[in-house]
């Protein structure tokens, strides 16, 4: 009788251990997919396909409003601001490196002139951006959220910059397009390798 009780108890204990380990392993799998209570969020119009490369400047942003058109306008404005900031960074690096590699009499004046003309060109070119992704969602609160990604071709910007810089009377004599383009291309490579945008 005692053997039977021990045997039954042993089987019951073995069953509890097997059931417990199965339950524990299921629980640990859940913890792996649910990292400290965080939920993976998909952000539309973002990711590797929407980052700048040596051929295109790209930027993405969102806009939210109770009015769908205002949400779109906010997303457009925010993405253009992000794109302009990115282009300004590249142009600033290009100008600094280009001016420092050349022998100009008044470096500060030349840098200032390059930057001023570049800003004009960038502002004009921002009117020629292309929307490459746009998604509109409605939140639980009833507001509209617009996700947008835009793109501007590097070639079009380079051409516009060259046209503007080569026509400027103060820079005309010392401006070397090939040297400027070479410097610009190096800055674009840095931007692409950084993967920041």
Query: What's the pLDDT at 172?
Result: 66
Query: What's the pLDDT at 72?
Result: 97
Rounded CA-CA distance 95/78 in Å is 25
Residues 33 and 54 in one domain: no
Task: Report the chain (197 residues): mean pLDDT per 10 consecutive residues.
Answer: 47 43 42 70 91 93 97 96 92 84 71 83 88 96 96 90 82 76 88 72
Query: What's the pLDDT at 15?
Result: 46
Q: Is 43 a member of any domain?
A: no
Residues 119 and 52 in one domain: yes
Burial of residue 184 (CB within 10 Å: 0-12, 13-18, 19+) is buried
DSSP state string for 35-87 = GGG------TT-SGGGS--SSEEEEEEEEEESSHHHHHHHHHHHHHHHHHHHH
pTM score of the predicted model: 0.73
The CB-based long-range contact list for 74-82 (8 Å cut-off, 24+ gap) reads 74/146, 75/134, 75/146, 75/147, 75/148, 76/131, 76/148, 76/150, 78/148, 79/148, 79/149, 79/150, 80/126, 80/129, 80/150
Residues 75 and 126 in one domain: yes
Domain of residue 141 covers 48-194
Q: Is 143 a member of any domain?
A: yes
Query: What's the pLDDT at 104?
Result: 64
Query: What's the pLDDT at 71?
Result: 97
Residues 189 and 99 in one domain: yes
Query: What's the pLDDT at 105?
Result: 65
Query: What's the pLDDT at 20?
Result: 46
């Amino acid at each position: 009788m005692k053997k039977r009780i021990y045997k039954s108890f042993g089987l019951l204990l073995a069953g509890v251990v097997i059931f417990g380990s199965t339950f524990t392993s299921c629980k640990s799998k859940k913890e792996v997919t649910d990292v400290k209570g965080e939920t993976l969020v998909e952000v539309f119009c973002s990711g590797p396909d929407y980052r700048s490369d040596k051929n295109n400047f790209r930027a993405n942003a969102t806009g939210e409003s109770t009015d769908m058109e205002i949400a779109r306008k906010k997303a457009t404005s925010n993405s253009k601001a992000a794109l302009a900031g990115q282009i300004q960074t590249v142009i600033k690096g290009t100008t600094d490196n280009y001016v420092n590699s050349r022998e100009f009499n008044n470096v500060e004046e030349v840098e200032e002139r390059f930057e001023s003309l570049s800003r004009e060109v960038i502002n004009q070119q921002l009117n020629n951006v292309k929307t490459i992704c746009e998604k509109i969602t409605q939140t639980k609160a009833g507001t509209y959220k617009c996700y947008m990604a835009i793109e501007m071709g590097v070639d079009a910007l380079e051409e516009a910059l060259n046209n503007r810089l080569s026509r400027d009377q103060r820079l005309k004599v010392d401006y070397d397009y090939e040297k400027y383009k070479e410097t610009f291309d190096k800055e674009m490579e840095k931007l692409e390798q950084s993967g920041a945008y």
